[in-house]
Amino acid sequence: MPQYLSAAFDPTQVYRLLKLLKTRKNLSLLLVALPGIFLFPNMVLAEVSGESQFIFNTFSFLIWGALVMWMCAGFTMLESGSVRTRNASVICLKNIGLYSIAGITFFMIGYNLMYVDVNGFFGAFTLFYSSTPEEVMLLGGDDGQAETVVKAGYSTMSDWFFQMVFVATTASIVSGALAERVKLWAFFVFIAVLTAFIYPVVGAWTWGGGWLSNMGFQDFAGSTIVHSTGGWAALAGAVVVGARMGKFREDGTVKTTPPSNVPVVTLGVFILWLGWFGFNGGSQLALGSAADAIAMSIVLVNTNLAAAAGVLVALMISRPLFGRVDLLSVLNGAIGGLVAITAGPDMIAHGWAILIGGVGGLVCSLGIRALEKMKIDDVVGAVPAHLFAGIWGTIAACIASGADILIQLTGILAVGAFVFVSSYIVWTILEKTLGCRVSKNVEELGQDVAELGIEAYPEFVVMPDNEEFK
């Protein structure tokens, strides 16, 4: 063996690399790699540099953020398929509108309120957010700023983008619950307030390093911060706006409103399931080391197990609870399982993920029935899936993720009180000014024609509901 190889040569590393190359049958790559193996053995399996970590972390934020953004498509399909055909176009407009509003408001002020100079309760009331001066100078050719930029760990705006798509998810929850009777512009105004102020304040308390974070409140990817916030806002809106005409009959029975497009609803749930891998996996917030990669893998597996368990539990209880095997309940069971695991998907023991997700599916199914008993109209089951399952998931983080039950309950109650009361006030103001609910004539005719002048399915012949036109 040559002298320059004796000190650093590691036959085990060489064997592993040769075996890898051989299994891939890439002989040309093997020939290229052989000189490097013997001349520079310490570079085989070398530690990732700081700049490489910066690149991996930034790319992780961007690619996972794009996947979370795609959840907006899932919400659109879930909601548009759940409503009657005469209201499907408005759902499409609401979802692309709310995503756009969330992007602008979070850029203008939301991110600063949530993360910049948080004083315990909220951050800075400053407008706009941008790359750091060092990043701008680096782009301008000042290579001397590279070390400072790399030390941050990731690109400034990649973090903003990843955080923004979470805001849009919160807003999407409200859309489905209030479908078929809330005015378009009143809804958009509420979304602007939710994404610019209400959600960022909750985020400042927790992820922004505020008072709940200092107490030790744990919410890995947002069972409370994202999903319960959206659920509380939706519940307040449902109370103010009221139920759809004829949904609850005078004798106390509930009128069923079957979805207009079951395959679209199902596809929407699958898209949400896929997007959740970015939602939870990206919340590892790093991909610059082997430990990060392992942790992210665990998060994705637990996310998948919880969703599957939510489906199976909802399937098993749907007949005794609803008198039939209820497809929509089963689909919501998947979402309930996903929401439940979101507070603590980083647990090592995967069996707990199955339990937590299964209970999430149970909570969601029972919640759908409970809202009907309380005569609260939630078209897509958003409140049970996101609020009720979110509360359970936040508590369940105590099981295997090390959270403290009293601190978790404090966070649940504080966020619930703040979001519900502030949302109720905003909805009430909108009701007194713009008016939140469409007219009886618009509700009967459908918002597609009355508000947009376009039908989602113009070739279909819409049959009138005799029960509505007695």
**Above 70 in pLDDT, residue 369?**
yes
In contact, 79 and 179? CB cutoff 8 Å: yes
Give the integer Cα–Cα distance in Å for 122 and 115. 8
Give the model confidence (pLDDT) of 156-199 as tens digits. Answer: 999 999 999 999 999 999 999 999 999 999 999 999 999 999 99
What is the three-class DSSP state of 248?
strand
**Above 80 in pLDDT, residue 41?**
no
Give the model confidence (pLDDT) of 294-316 as tens digits. Answer: 999 999 999 999 999 999 999 99
In contact, 244 and 86? CB cutoff 8 Å: no
CA 232-237-239 angle, to 5 degrees, is 95
Name the one residue in this structure whose structure tokens are 């039939």: 324
Distance from first CA to last CA of the chain, Å, rounded? 96
Mark 166-185 as b/e (b = at least 16 C-beta within 10 Å): bbbbbbbbbbbbbbbbbbee
Name the percent of the chain lying above pLDDT 90: 69
CATH level 2 (architecture), domain 62-452: Orthogonal Bundle (1.10)
At 465, the pLDDT band (50, 70, 90 cuts) reads: low
Please report the DSSP string for 43-105 in residue order.
GTTPPPPHHHHHHHHHHHHHHHHHHHHTHHHHHHHHHHHHS-GGGHHHHHHHHHHHHHHHHHH
Tell me what pLDDT residue 27 has. 44
Tell me what pLDDT residue 32 has. 44
CB atoms within 10 A of CB 83: 27
Q: For residue 45, what are the contacts with CB-CB under 8 A and spacing of at least 6?
A: 13, 16, 17
Give the model confidence (pLDDT) of 401-456 as tens digits. Answer: 899 999 999 999 999 999 999 999 999 999 999 999 999 999 888 888 888 888 88
Tell me what pLDDT residue 448 has. 86
Give the integer Cα–Cα distance in Å for 256 and 318. 15
- Spell out the domain ranges in the chain: 3-43, 62-452
pTM listed for this prediction: 0.86
Tell me what pLDDT residue 361 has. 96
**Above 70 in pLDDT, residue 54?**
yes
Mean pLDDT of 342-362: 95
